[in-house]
A and B are shown apart, each in its own frame.
Chain A
Amino acid sequence: MHELSIALSILDLVEEEAERQRGRVAAVHLKLGRLSGVVKDALVSAYDMAREGTSLAQTELVIEEVPLLAHCSVCAADHPLVSIQDLRCPVCGNPTPDILSGRELEVYAIEVET
């Protein structure tokens, strides 16, 4: 259950940014890769718990899940992968260790009320 640490880190980061922007934060947008090691549902619960009693108690967490994208050296092309348990090119079946996206764990934007 490291999702609580993750939720606390998100709140820290957003609080810092909110101070800079001098406004109430209505929502925080998070990119979450399928290979990030963080479980979406667990993070949502941990976030709901962690934000209580903070200045971000009303701030919504909006999660955008990022699919796995890998480069296949045989096809010389980038392909989305279906499963994180099978890192092979969906077209030619060659192993694709070269992951281009899907590890994201990033606060990419906040909505600040004006």
Chain B
Amino acid sequence: MSVNSRLVQVRQHVLKKNDVAARALRARFHEAGTFVVSLVSSPGAGKTAFLEKVLGSLRARYRVAALVGDLATDNDAQRLARAQVPVKQIITGTVCHLEAEMIANALEGWRLDDLDFLFLENVGNLVCPSTFDLGEDLRLVLFSVTEGEDKPLKYPTIFNTADVAIITKMDLAEATEFDAAAAHRSIQSVRPGMETFELSAKTGQGMEPWLNFLRCSQQNAASPQRQQG
């Protein structure tokens, strides 16, 4: 430090603006009783196929909707709209991740009171989204059997900030000689105790345990005990 300067303590989180926006969103979601789940993965891991299946399964009993982040197209939103639930695309342009403010803007005109579940599909990217809180209750990180068992070791930060790991495309596990035990070891190494599901959106295998977990998480979040706590 030069002699002619003084040190002023600031102590502020760099993403304060995003954090403030995320906190406001979280308060709105809780108030409305909307359980919010975000999805992150690398491009092509099967987020959209997975989400199509989840929306389709929940639709009969719950009011569900989705926001989908993408750099350039609205193809994913069009695919998800086939599940006949409200879907809105967030085109991020050059931004490689969703931010809380984008969620707030996209929600304009939607009544959260009318939603039990809201899904936020992030831009396909395993690096950037890790730093940005979106006000979600549950963050899922997906990776497919074609990506290799060591994916979690290559992207430890995103796995560490997520709550649940979903291994997708299990119908291809045999063809790709996927070593499930090694994948679980990688996950537990970067995020000890992480809840993990293996499934295939295509065949439906493994979907039910995951959906049970999701419904339980939503119920627990809505229980009066937690709201008081």
Q: How far is the CA of A109 from the CA of B11 in the complex (A)?
A: 6
Q: Which residues of chain B (2-25) have a CB below 8 Å from chain A?
A: 2, 4-18
**Would A37 and B131 count as touching, CB distance under 8 A?**
yes
Would you call A65 an interface residue if the criterion is a C-beta within 8 Å of the partner chain's C-beta atoms? no
- Nearest chain A CB to B35's CB is how many angstroms away? 23
- Nearest chain A CB to B17's CB is how many angstroms away? 7
Question: Known contacts A110-B8, A113-B5: does B190 contact A84 (CB below 8 Å)?
Answer: yes
Q: How far is the CA of A75 from the CA of B16 in the complex (A)?
A: 35
**Would B8 and A112 count as touching, CB distance under 8 A?**
yes
Task: Provide the residues of chain B in CB contact with A114, threshold 8 Å.
Answer: 4-6
Question: Known contacts A37-B130, A85-B156: does B10 contact A108 (CB below 8 Å)?
Answer: yes
Task: Provide the residues of chain A in CB contact with B156, threshold 8 Å.
Answer: 35, 84-85
Contact of B190 among A10, A87, A112 (CB under 8 A): A87
- Nearest chain A CB to B41's CB is how many angstroms away? 15
Would you call A36 an interface residue if the criterion is a C-beta within 8 Å of the partner chain's C-beta atoms? yes
Best-buried of A5, A105, A106 by chain B (most CB within 10 Å): A5
Which range holds the interface residue count of chain B?
A: 35 or more
Interface residues of A (CB under 8 A from B): 1-2, 5-6, 9-10, 12-14, 17, 21, 26-27, 29-30, 35-38, 84-88, 95-97, 99, 105-114
Task: Provide the residues of chain A in CB contact with B188, threshold 8 Å.
Answer: 95
- Nearest chain B CB to A110's CB is how many angstroms away? 5
**Would B191 and A97 count as touching, CB distance under 8 A?**
yes
Would you call B196 an interface residue if the criterion is a C-beta within 8 Å of the partner chain's C-beta atoms? no
**Would A96 and B192 count as touching, CB distance under 8 A?**
yes
**Would B9 and A108 count as touching, CB distance under 8 A?**
yes
- Nearest chain A CB to B18's CB is how many angstroms away? 8
Q: Which residues of chain B (158-199) have a CB below 8 Å from chain A?
A: 158, 160-161, 188-193
